[in-house]
Structure 1
Amino acid sequence: MIMRSYRCGSLWLALLAFAVFSISSQWRSDTSRLAPSEFGRDGRVVIAAPVLLLLFGGDRFLAANLETIRLASTGVDWGQTDTGYLVRAQQVVAELNPCHEDNYYLANGLLTWAGADREGSEVLRRASSCRFWDELPPFFYGFNKFFFERDVEAAAVYLEEAASRATFNAASFRKFAIMLKAEQIEDERLALEFLQDEHSRASDLQLKAMLAKRVQRLEGLVMLREAQRRFEAREGKSLATPEQLLDSGLLESFPEDPLRLGYEFVDGRFLLTKLKVAGVEGP
């Protein structure tokens, strides 16, 4: 009896696989009658989530698994990524199973860095909501919101969420979120007070050490801007070069940045030098 049930199950699975293959083949043969925008550059078909759900007997997890395997093996051809195809395919997988781990990894790696950052981020947003135990989806999503969309508020929220889920990376995620908030404060003295307060309240020793360096770096910026204000008030003219602060005796030496990024003097204003990320930051 058990063997008979097993054979029936195998037969139905084989018939189901044949039906999927037949429908996909028929659909692919009719691509010339459909709009080009519905396909990738090679006419790759992406079957809608409800159809996949029907074909796989209502098992959305199985449908998502097989579709992820298909897009992983066909989305990149000779080193070239078919971004349009991957966008549609990975959105379908996210609709079937937003918790799918491979799908959000692929979305972050193949979409966000191939000109489809918003689409890749949407897959990450769904994964972040579904995988409530996983620190990586909110971290990736927060990172993308900041670097691609410059949405600091949303980025900080998701980075804090990643920190609350994390174990070893909690301090790094929280430090990143704190720094984004601090950059939104125009007055450098208020920003310094904000960082000092975060530093004093931090209980994680690793986070405390990281914030201490940021506090020291911001203290250097405050020192430079205070010296500039005193120079301009005393001399009655704008500061032309940073060296004038040394020549005037207002500074004995320039402050050292513990992060070794340094400071910039741009358009008559001292700024923190920012790290340039190739392909993301401007020239």
Structure 2
Amino acid sequence: MSAVSRPVVALLVSLTIYGVVLGSFSDYMKLKPIEEKLGYLPSTSFLRYASADHKELVGASLVMKVIMYFGGIAEKQQANVIVQPPDYRGMSGILHGAVKLDPYNMDAYYFAQSFLTWEVKQYKIANDLLDYGMKYRSWDWMLPFFAGFNSSYFMRDYPAAATYYKRAGELSGSDLSKLLAGRYMQEAGQTELAIAYLTTMEKGERNQSVRRNYQLRLSAFKEVRKIEMARDRFKEAKGYLPTTVEQLSQGGFLSTVPLDPYGGQFYLEADGKVATTSKFAFAGAKKAAKQNAGETR
């Protein structure tokens, strides 16, 4: 090998090694687990005193802090990067503090509704916060709409749901809210209500990470509704409930077996209710997969 070619070869080898190392490092950084932190928050009393005439600004910054925190975790979860579970208690505390500083802050109520119900299952806390907001945002029809959904879909408190929906209808002039006020005194149509609710939430959400969460859950519920409608047609034709989703597909009541976007498998419970192994969460699908793997060993 000539003296001239040796440096060239060495350079090419070095560049190749550099590319391999850099590529591996980049892949590692993309998948590197992170732990988001909410940080320390002074008491609401101190913040109210310290913020003086800037309570609205401080309240808005607290809400943005929580949204950015949750959005960062949601993006990592969707990318299958392991992170610490969100600090829901801390998120709730900060949002409650934010509305004490500025009870008119729209984003605080809307975002609290999104995670206190679906993620934390603290329905009463969510409705208490919405009730607080209704005292100030007396024109905002979405607050009683959300409270009505929580009361009917989660809490099965249909008289309360009717009251909330009636108020939402009076404020918005929406025929949907007025119809829901009477309709959801009964236990029928829960999935339709969820779809109507999530559609409203998705359209009004400005944070893209949270909006994608709504879209994902909305697509899952639409698949559930397909199965429910097929189940009802099966029962009407056969006189009894089907036992499996596959039975609906094989009988021509479903063109294809709907797919759970969370990665789980839809199935029918003994009473005909449509459920999924994912429990409408990525973590639920992973847990079910591990359990199934253990059973097959």
TM-score under structure 2 normalisation?
Answer: 0.45
| TM-score between both structures, scaled by the size of structure 1 | 0.48
Question: Which protein shows a greater Rg?
Answer: 1
